[in-house]
Amino acid sequence: MQTSLKSNTFFPRSLDAELVRQRIRELEVGKVGFYSVGLYPASLAYNCAMQQEGEGDLLLAARPGRSLLGAFNADALAGMDPEHVAAVERMASHDAGAGERCPNSLADLLQRCELVVLSANSNHVEDDLQEACRLREELGREQVVLACLAGSFSHDHIANASYVLCEKVPNLAFFSGFHRHGALRNPLDSFTANFCHPNALTALLGARMLDRLSPNIQVSPGVHNVEGQYIKAAKNMSSVFAGFGYNYHQQNPGVLPTLLTLLLDQCLDQAATVSMARRDRQRLYNRQPFALTELGYGVQRIEAALVRGGDMEKVRDHTFAQLTAMVADVRGSMMLPVSGKPTRNFQAGQVLADRMREVQRCPHTMEEVEDWCEQAGLRKGGLEGLKALRYWPQIVRNYAIPVHDASMVNLLYMAIYGKTSTKEVAFSVMTDSRELSNYCQESVRPTHSRRYAEALQNLHQPEAMDLVVNAVIADNARRLIRDDNSFEELDAATEPPAYLRAMNVIETAL
C-alpha cells in the first residue's frame, strides 16, 4: 500500500515561538472528528451528548450511503433519548444557510477539526487514509493529525501479504480503549482509552483533545501505535476463544482461569515480538522531545532477552504494557460482564460453542461460522476477530511470532481452517476440559524445552535418562544436547493424547 503520510503532527516545521504559541491556543479549542461512523464512534458521540450542554468538541461524518445510526439495532435505538439523538445528528451536520443543515463529509472534518479519527474497519480504512491525505494537502490542512481505530489486520490482495497498518504507516496515530457499546450509553459509567502516536508531544496533545470530549472517558497518551493496533486485532481473535471457553466449559470452571490468563499473556507477548520489528524503534525511544515517563510510563523501556549462542539477544519489547487502557482492553474483552452483553467477538465465540456442541464437530468453513453468527443476530461485518483470523498464518510469518506465544489462536485457526483430520483433533482438545488444560500448560513451552519435561516422565527409558544426564553435565554436553534427537524419534507405545497431536500439527503447519 502506498500512502503519503510523511508528516502527521500538529505543528509546522517552524522555530517561531509566537507561531507555535498561537498553534497551541488553537489546539486548546480544537475539535475532534470521527469519519465513517460505526458502533463505537456513534456510542461515543451519544455519551458526549449526555454529558455536554450545547455544541461540544466532537464532529461526525457518516460514510457516503450509510446511515449515521445504522450500526444500532432497533432495540438500542428505541432505548435512546430523542434529545441526545438529535444532539448526535447535529454533530454530523453543519449549517448550510437558509435554516438547512447539510451532512458533514470527510473534507468538512479536515477543514473544521484538528484531529480526525478514521474509524472504518479494515475493509475501508486504507482507502480512507489515502483520501484523507489527498484532501489534507488540497485544503492546506497538513497539520490536522490523522488516526485510526481499525481492529483487524490489513491485507494487500495484489502482493497477498497481511500486516498491521500502523507498522506500514508508522506516523499514523491509533486510538483504542475498552468499551461495551451499551455501557457507553450509561451516563454513570466511565472508561479509559489510549491515544498513541510515535511522537510523544503529538500523543500528549491528541490525548488531551480526546480526553475533553466527555468526563466519562479518560484518555492517556502513548507512543506505541503499532503495538496498540496489533493488540486490538489479536485480542479480537482471543475474545472469540474466550467466549467459546465460557460457554462450552461453563460446567468446568476450573479450566477458565488458565485459559483466560494464557489468552491475555499471549496477546501481550505477540505484541512485544511485533514491537521488535518496528522500523522506527530506536527513534521511538531516543529521539523524543521528553522522556516517556512524562506520558505516564513507569520506566523508559522494558525488554526481554534469550540466551542464543552464548549471548543475550533481545527478543521482545514490553514497554507498551505500561499503558493501562491497552491492557484493560484485552482483559475486558475476555470477560463475561455482570450486566449487559459482552463484546461482539466474545458473542461469536459463544455461538461457536453452542453450535459445536450441537453438531459435535468443528465448523466446515469460516463461511459456516459466519452463517451461525448471522443466525444469532451478529453481523459478520462487525466481527473483526473472525476477519483477523483469516490472515493469521501470514501475520505469524511476517512478524516471526513464535509458535509457543500463539498456541491458543493457532488452535482456533486450525479448528476453522484445518484439514478434516486436524479439525477432529482440535475438537477433542477444545471440548475436553482435561485436554484443554494440558494443551494450555504444554503448548506455551518452546519446542526444545518440552524434550526435558517429557524425558523426566520417562526416566525408565535409557534415551530419556541420557538426555537428563547430559543436561546436568552442561558445558561439556551442549553440542550433544542440541543434536540429540533420539528421544524425539522413539516409537510411542500408544497414540499420544489429543493435546500433543494438536501441538504437533500446529508446529508443522505454522
Q: Which residue has the cell 530506536?
A: 282
Nearest to 483 by CA among 493, 494, 470: 470
Residues in the chain with pLDDT values less than 50: 1, 54, 475, 477, 480-481, 485-490, 492
C-alpha cell at 497: 493424547
The answer as to whether 494 is a domain residue is yes
Radius of gyration in angstroms for the set of CA atoms belonging to the chain, rounded to a whole number: 25
Number of structural domains in the chain: 1
C-alpha cell at 459: 526416566
The answer as to whether 87 is a domain residue is no
- The DSSP 8-state label assigned to residue 1 in this structure reads -
Query: Residue 49, class by beta-carbon neighbours within 10 Å (0-12 exposed, 13-18 middle, 19+ buried)?
Result: buried
H helices then E strands: how many in the chain? Answer: 23, 13
Nearest to 435 by CA among 344, 501, 486: 501
Enclosing domain of residue 472? 406-510
Cβ(255)–Cβ(164) below 8 Å: no
Q: What is the DSSP string of 52-77?
A: -SSS-SEEEEPPTT--TTTTS-HHHH
Please tell me the predicted confidence (pLDDT) of residue 477.
46
- pLDDT (tens digit, 9 = 90+) per residue, 10-66? 999 989 999 999 999 999 999 999 999 888 888 889 888 988 754 679 999 999 988
The answer as to whether 490 is a domain residue is yes
Please give the torsion angle defined by the CA atoms of residues 329, 334, 339 and 344, in that order, rounded to the nearest 10 degrees: 90
Please tell me the predicted confidence (pLDDT) of residue 182.
67
| Distance separating alpha carbons of residues 304 and 326, to the nearest angstrom | 19
The answer as to whether 252 is a domain residue is no
The answer as to whether 147 is a domain residue is no
Beta bridge partners of 155: 162
Cβ(275)–Cβ(316) below 8 Å: yes
The answer as to whether 424 is a domain residue is yes
Beta pairing class for 173-176 and 191-196: antiparallel
159: helix, coil or strand?
Answer: coil
Please tell me the predicted confidence (pLDDT) of residue 18.
94
Cβ(498)–Cβ(432) below 8 Å: yes
Number of neighbours of residue 482 by Cβ within 10 angstroms = 9
Nearest to 260 by CA among 331, 329, 353: 331
Cβ(224)–Cβ(196) below 8 Å: yes
Could you report how far apart the first and last alpha carbons of the chain are, in Å? 26
Q: Which residue has the cell 525488554?
A: 303
476: helix, coil or strand?
Answer: helix
Nearest to 441 by CA among 404, 487, 402, 403: 404
Number of neighbours of residue 323 by Cβ within 10 angstroms = 27
The answer as to whether 462 is a domain residue is yes
The answer as to whether 86 is a domain residue is no
Number of neighbours of residue 438 by Cβ within 10 angstroms = 18
The model carries a pTM of 0.87
- pLDDT (tens digit, 9 = 90+) per residue, 208-223? 999 999 888 899 999 9
Beta bridge partners of 306: 313
Q: Which residue has the cell 445528528?
A: 89
